[in-house]
Amino acid sequence: MNIYVGNLSWEMSEDDLRTSFSEFGEVSTVSIIKDKFSGRSRGFGFVEMSNKEEAESAISGLNGKDMKGRDLRVNEARARTENRRDGGGGGFGGRRY
C-alpha cells in the first residue's frame, strides 16, 4: 500500500520516516519529494508498505503525531490523475475579443 505523508518538517529525512513506519511493519520504499531546483524538501513524501494491515495500522498510529515540531498528515495515497488541473481552461483568463 502506498501511503502519503504530509506536513513534514524540513529536517525530516527518509531514514527518519523509515524508522517511524517500520515500528508498524515492513517498509518497502520511502521517498521525500524534493524541489528540482533547490533540492529542498517540498514537505511531503510517500512510504510503501507491502502488508495492507500493517500500513493501515501505521496510518492510524502516525496521523496527527508530532515529529520534529510538525503534526504529520498520513493517509492512503490516491492515484495520480492524468490531468492535474480541474477545469483545463484556455489560458486567456476569460478575455473577450
CATH number at residue 25: 3.30.70.330
> For residue 57, is it within any domain?
yes
> For residue 54, is it within any domain?
yes
What pLDDT is recorded for position 88? Answer: 52
Residue 55: give the domain boundaries. Answer: 2-76
22-58 pLDDT, tens digit each: 999 999 999 999 999 999 999 999 999 999 999 999 9
> For residue 17, is it within any domain?
yes
What's the pTM value of the predicted model, to 2 decimals? 0.79
Q: Which residues contact 12 (CB under 8 A, 6 or more apart)?
A: 32, 41, 67, 68, 70
How many percent of the chain have pLDDT more than 70?
84
Q: What is the tally of structural domains in the chain?
A: 1
What pLDDT is recorded for position 41? Answer: 93
